[in-house]
A and B are shown apart, each in its own frame.
Chain A
């Protein structure tokens, strides 16, 4: 496996695994690092910078120049990766939305693996673990929390669509928990209301800038999301 050593000393593996690594800068000048790895690393830095820029400037003031500056790449590099600012923000949103959902699914799967059929039947237990995983993820990455929870400009249809997709996906996870094993189905649309409300709450807490406030939300949010169970 190709391994890449960064200035900060962190080992960087193949592109698939790069996403978990903090975006340190590559060494300048000739370094013999394969071009595709350099590109993958640049893209990750841009995606991370996009979330930071949204948290820092909001959608009203954000510019491609600021994203480029935060990522430590040239403007030319930015446009080699993305057509414009909105394409970059869309990629960042979709990547982070997928990471959030994977985090929740992995936490629930781990519980079932650990406790077997008991956990399978324990809807409340699985929901609690999933909500804790989501809030833990968002608290660890407050810029991502801002990116995912804030309402994007509706004029950028693709970005609004990505937000709707996230609400649908989180809603599907919640529906699975809310569904009555004896056949009764949850009311259509209820989970969308619950997820919309949860994102609004997360957005308020994330805007405050204190990650602990997001973690502290766990018992309350669990109770609120499961009130219909």
Chain B
């Protein structure tokens, strides 16, 4: 299943042929068409598996870390670790999905909604009078994804890690305002300064489960 994502992540969805997928994953053309209607269908099925794994991994990272801010930061760290360890698959999940069309795109939207709903959990702690707009979850997840897409596009994943404090500022600011944003920025900067080697060194979490 990873073959189609790696192929598309490396050379692009448009340029990937069924033959190129088979060269990576093995098997014959006839077998391919027994399982999949088309390249789009194959991509969508592989996409469904990998985006589910990634979502579960991110949600678990958040759920096992104390506090909302800590949970969000840990989930972003887990995301960055995945992107750093598997850039081709990450490119397929976040960039090529925009080109692969439906139904992979529908699964992408569903994943965004799911992560947005999780991150939105902080509303329970916010005074209703100060509640952020309804679209905040999707906005924030979209912003995090755009940061990943930008780093993948530039081919410079170090910049992804540099962006952690700025992303925490963006996420906390969107929900809790400027003061909390500055605190979240500071705490992420300290963590990155202290533990960058450990954070960037870890990696294959998503595949192992």
The answer to whether A and B assemble together is yes
Interface assignment of A199: CB less than 8 Å from any CB of chain B: yes
A178–chain B nearest beta-carbon distance, Å? 11
* Category for how many chain A residues contact B: 35 or more
Are A155 and B11 interface neighbours, CB within 8 A?
Answer: yes
Contacts of A152 in B (CB 8 A): 98-99
Considering the complex, which residues of chain B in the window 135-175 have a beta carbon less than 8 Å from any beta carbon of chain A? 135-136, 138-143, 145-147, 149-150, 152-153, 163, 166-167, 169-170, 173-174
**Interface mask (A54-86 → B, CB under 8 Å = 1, otherwise 0):** 000111110000000000000000000000000
Contacts of B143 in A (CB 8 A): 193-194, 196-197, 200
Contacts of A207 in B (CB 8 A): 105, 109
- Roughly how many angstroms separate A193 CA and B101 CA in the complex, as a whole number? 25
Considering the complex, which residues of chain A in the window 173-216 have a beta carbon less than 8 Å from any beta carbon of chain B? 187-190, 192-194, 196-201, 204, 207
Tally of contact residues, B, Cβ under 8 A:
45
Are A217 and B135 interface neighbours, CB within 8 A?
Answer: yes
- Roughly how many angstroms separate A187 CA and B181 CA in the complex, as a whole number? 11
Of A14-22, A39-47, A136-144, A220-228, the segment with at least 4 beta carbons within 8 Å of chain B is A220-228
A103–chain B nearest beta-carbon distance, Å? 22
Are B178 and A193 interface neighbours, CB within 8 A?
Answer: no
Are B163 and A189 interface neighbours, CB within 8 A?
Answer: yes
Interface assignment of A117: CB less than 8 Å from any CB of chain B: no
- Roughly how many angstroms separate A228 CA and B170 CA in the complex, as a whole number? 8
Are A193 and B138 interface neighbours, CB within 8 A?
Answer: no
A29–chain B nearest beta-carbon distance, Å? 39
Contacts of B152 in A (CB 8 A): 154
**Interface mask (B88-100 → A, CB under 8 Å = 1, otherwise 0):** 0001000110111
Are B40 and A60 interface neighbours, CB within 8 A?
Answer: yes
* In the complex with contacts A189-B166, A193-B170, A200-B146, A227-B177 CB distance below 8 A: yes
> Which A residue's beta carbon lies closest to that of B97?
A151
Interface assignment of B35: CB less than 8 Å from any CB of chain A: no
Contacts of A227 in B (CB 8 A): 132, 173-174, 177-178, 181
Interface assignment of A32: CB less than 8 Å from any CB of chain B: no
* In the complex with contacts A187-B169, A196-B147, A224-B14 CB distance below 8 A: no
What are 9 contact pairs spanning A and B, CB under 8 A? A59-B14, A155-B11, A190-B170, A194-B143, A194-B170, A196-B145, A200-B145, A204-B112, A221-B135
> Chain A interface (Cβ within 8 Å of chain B)?
57-61, 150-155, 160, 164, 187-190, 192-194, 196-201, 204, 207, 217, 219-221, 223-224, 227-229
A-B CB proximity, top 9 nearest: A200-B142, A196-B146, A197-B143, A220-B133, A151-B98, A155-B12, A193-B170, A58-B101, A59-B99
